[in-house]
Amino acid sequence: MAKQEKELTVEERLKSLYDLQKTLSEVDRIKTERGELPLEVQDLEDEIEGLQTKIGNFNDEIEQLSTVINNQKSSIERSENLIAKYEKDQDNVRNNREYDYLTKEIEFQQLSVQSAQKKIDEASHKIDAINEKIQIAKGHLADNEQALVEKKGELDTIIAETKQEEEKQREKAKKLENKINNADPRLLSAFKRIRKNARNGLGVVYVQRNACGGCFNRIPAQRQMEIKMRKKIIVCEYCGRILIDPAIAGVSEAEALNS
């Protein structure tokens, strides 16, 4: 038959909870050392992706405009062939009516050539403008790619320097969480919720100068006595943090009064 795990006293739960708090605070400190670098790297990656998409869209526009130019060139060629044909036909007309008809057809095709050439010029100007935008975007892209290489290098260096310590602290935190969870799952859930909502990430604090070590609101003397007795879990009525006796945190009463 499996040996039943020893039930943790309230004092042991509070001590384990404080140890978990210290361990997670150390993980937070390590993450803080990385500063804004992870966010800066993500921002650069997003900007690079955006620039690449923009350049791709520009190239699509150029391709569409090039198709317009090619189509208009084909139209000019057809019109010029018809003009040549009509001019040749004018040499063999039988009356003025046929001659006038061919003249109108020639004028129409000449207008078609002019219209097509105008569209070619407009598309060409647009392509030139887009190419300028592409060059600017490529310049920004190159700058961002270089910055990303540098920022990633800085981040990789910091991660390499702190990875082992972070893994060690995370493993320690995992063991403590399992220990607390086995004894009191609701306490662990409450701690995680409090810590998540706390500005400084502190879910457990000890009494300092007769006040909560988290929000610094004064704690009544009777409440402080109950905290020292370690018979039940007590939370700050102002900020909701779990309160512990300084001794559990390894702090003397004198230090707690002067901290």
Domain boundary among 152, 172, 192: 172
Q: What pLDDT shows up at residue 158?
A: 86
Query: Is there a single domain that holds both residue 55 and residue 19?
Result: no
In this structure, is residue 142 part of a structural domain?
yes
Query: Is there a single domain that holds both residue 59 and residue 127?
Result: yes
Query: Is there a single domain that holds both residue 17 and residue 58?
Result: no
User: Smallest Cα–Cα separation from 50: which of 137, 136, 153, 129?
Assistant: 137
In this structure, is residue 3 part of a structural domain?
no
Given a cut of 70, is residue 259 above it in pLDDT? no
Instruction: Write out pLDDT tens, residues 96-150.
Output: 999 999 999 999 999 999 999 999 999 999 999 999 999 999 999 999 999 999 9
Q: Whole-number mean pLDDT of the chain?
A: 91
User: Smallest Cα–Cα separation from 235: which of 197, 190, 173?
Assistant: 190
Query: Is there a single domain that holds both residue 218 and residue 168?
Result: no
In this structure, is residue 135 part of a structural domain?
yes
Domain residues for 230? 10-31+184-258
Query: Is there a single domain that holds both residue 27 and residue 125?
Result: no
Tally of domains within the chain:
2
In this structure, is residue 240 part of a structural domain?
yes
Q: SS3 sequence, the chain?
A: CCCCCCCCCHHHHHHHHHHHHHHHHHHHHHHHHCCCHHHHHHHHHHHHHHHHHHHHHHHHHHHHHHHHHHHHHHHHHHHHHHHHHHHHHHCCCCCHHHHHHHHHHHHHHHHHHHHHHHHHHHHHHHHHHHHHHHHHHHHHHHHHHHHHHHHHHHHHHHHHHHHHHHHHHHHHHHHHHHHHHHHCHHHHHHHHHHHHHCCCCCCEEECECCECCCCCCECCHHHHHHHHHCCCCEECCCCCCEEECHHHHCCCHHHHHHC
In this structure, is residue 191 part of a structural domain?
yes
105: domain CATH number is: 1.10.287.1490
In this structure, is residue 161 part of a structural domain?
yes
The reply to whether the predicted model has a pTM over 0.75 is no
Looking at mean pLDDT, say which of 34-48, 59-73, 154-168 comes out highest.
59-73
Query: Is there a single domain that holds both residue 158 and residue 248?
Result: no
- State the sign of the Cα–Cα–Cα–Cα dihedral 198, 202, 204, 209: negative
Q: What pLDDT shows up at residue 168?
A: 93
In this structure, is residue 158 part of a structural domain?
yes
Query: Is there a single domain that holds both residue 116 and residue 139?
Result: yes
Query: Is there a single domain that holds both residue 55 and residue 132?
Result: yes
